[in-house]
């Protein structure tokens, strides 16, 4: 099995407060596989995606671990090389399409920028590619959209543009950071379907960050359940929904009334379970603190 993304023992913490945010996270995503990262807000699921793409907030530092993208260890690279490697091989589908497009540039350059500036494509070839991709994400009038400013497009349109942009350079890995959370429920289903189609057609590995187990059941092959920056359980979708191993996973599933229904969000998990997990984590952290 060739894994495009391998994360090994990744730990991160807040620099000043020395609070651990990620605790020895390990996971791997194979070509064409969609790996779900599930957890409540603050569980660190987005942070894993950000660490992979090199966009962790400045207040956070990676303490240890490896992130291998296509076999290369990103954390061992020089920052400029790392940036280029990520730009060439990975892409992000962001959460909020309303804020993820630069309001003062047209759509066209926002899709082709990476191709022309980073990968050195010919401008005309890049434009053609952008048109192709916009057609692929079911935008009828690619030329008009490319000449538009973001504010002239609806939220759903913008998310399509962002998906097209993410696939522009044929990335080996895409991080989708709650790509449907900010959208209307009606649009959500279409966008989710579109992401799945695009991912299948391009055979891209995907890290799918969400708090919605319903969405996970529809799009992912494997998943990791996170709590307080720690992976509690990793399983295939079939295994997980049939027989969740960890107590917290069971509580999560129980807290989702109809997990097969996308759009239903999690209600807070029963506190007796979380207390148990927290105690477990506290014990690990104690060791971490003693080690410094």
Partner 1 sequence: MNLVRIIIVRLATTIVTLLGAAVIVFFVIRVVPGNPIAMMLPPGATDADIARLTALYGLDKSIPEQFVIWLTRALQGDFGTSISLRQPVMPLVLGRLPATLELSIFALVLAVMIGGTMALTGTRFRGTRTEAGIDVANGVGLSIPDFLWALVLILLFGVLVPVFYVSGRISPSLDLPFVTQFYVFESLVRLRFDLWWDLLKHMFMPALALAIPLAAIIGQLLKQSLKETMHLDYVVLARTKGYGENHVILFEALRNAVLPTLTLVGVQFTFLIGGTVIIERLFSYEGLGNMAIDAVINRDLPLIQGIVIVFALLFTVINLVVDMTYAFLNPRLRHA
Q: Where on the chain is the footprint of partner 1 (CB under 8 A)?
A: 53-55, 58, 80, 83-84, 86-88, 90-92, 94-96, 99-104, 113-114, 117-118, 149, 151-152, 162
Closer to partner 1 by CB, 118 or 255: give it. 118
User: Closest Cα partner for 53 from 10, 3, 90?
Assistant: 90
The alpha carbon of 224 is separated from its chain's Cα centroid by a whole number of angstroms, namely 12
User: Least distance in Å: CB of 207 to partner 1?
Assistant: 13
Closer to partner 1 by CB, 123 or 258: give it. 123
Please name the residue that has the structure tokens 């990968």. 119
Rounded Cα gap, residues 160 and 92, in angstroms? 13
Distances (CA, A) of 239 to 25, 39, 91, 227, 262: 20, 17, 29, 19, 19
User: Least distance in Å: CB of 55 to partner 1?
Assistant: 5
User: Closest Cα partner for 230 from 25, 14, 6?
Assistant: 25
Closer to partner 1 by CB, 95 or 224: give it. 95
Q: How many Å is the maximal CA-CA distance in the chain?
A: 60
Q: Alpha-carbon Rg of the chain, whole angstroms?
A: 19
Closer to partner 1 by CB, 118 or 254: give it. 118
Closer to partner 1 by CB, 55 or 267: give it. 55
User: Closest Cα partner for 56 from 177, 197, 206, 178?
Assistant: 177
H/E stretch holding 195 reads helix 185-202
Closer to partner 1 by CB, 206 or 252: give it. 206
User: Least distance in Å: CB of 85 to partner 1?
Assistant: 8
Rounded Cα gap, residues 221 and 271, in angstroms? 29
User: Closest Cα partner for 106 from 53, 59, 158, 170?
Assistant: 158
- C-alpha torsion sign, points 14, 209, 186, 94: positive
Closer to partner 1 by CB, 32 or 54: give it. 54
User: Count of CB atoms within 10 A of residue 124's CB?
Assistant: 9
Closer to partner 1 by CB, 158 or 246: give it. 158
Q: What SS3 class is residue 62?
A: strand
User: Least distance in Å: CB of 175 to partner 1?
Assistant: 8
């Amino acid at each position: 099995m060739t894994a495009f993304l391998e994360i090994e023992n990744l730990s991160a913490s807040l620099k000043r407060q020395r609070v651990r945010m990620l605790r020895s996270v390990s996971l791997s995503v194979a070509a064409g596989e969609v790996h779900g990262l599930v957890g409540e807000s603050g569980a660190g699921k987005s942070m894993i995606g950000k660490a992979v793409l090199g966009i962790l907030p400045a207040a956070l530092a990676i303490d240890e671990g490896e992130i291998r993208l296509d076999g290369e260890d990103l954390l061992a690279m020089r920052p400029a090389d790392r940036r280029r490697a990520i730009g060439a091989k990975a892409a992000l589908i962001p959460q909020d399409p309303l804020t993820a497009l630069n309001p003062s540039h047209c759509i066209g350059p926002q899709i082709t920028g990476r191709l022309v500036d980073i990968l050195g494509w010919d401008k005309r070839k890049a434009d053609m590619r952008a048109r192709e991709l916009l057609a692929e994400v079911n935008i009828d009038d690619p030329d008009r959209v490319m000449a538009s400013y973001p504010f002239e497009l609806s939220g759903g349109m913008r998310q399509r543009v962002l998906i097209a942009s993410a696939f522009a350079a044929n990335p080996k890995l895409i991080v989708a950071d709650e790509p449907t959370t900010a959208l209307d429920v009606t649009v959500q289903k279409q966008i989710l379907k579109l992401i799945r189609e695009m991912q299948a057609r391009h055979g891209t590995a995907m890290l799918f960050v969400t708090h919605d187990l319903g969405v996970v059941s529809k799009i992912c092959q494997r998943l990791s359940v996170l709590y307080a920056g720690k992976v509690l359980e990793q399983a295939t979708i079939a295994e997980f929904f049939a027989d969740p191993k960890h107590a917290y996973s069971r509580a999560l599933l129980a807290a989702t009334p109809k997990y097969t229904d996308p759009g239903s969000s999690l209600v807070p998990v029963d506190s007796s379970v979380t207390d148990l997990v927290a105690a477990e984590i506290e014990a690990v952290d104690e060791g971490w603190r003693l080690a410094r």
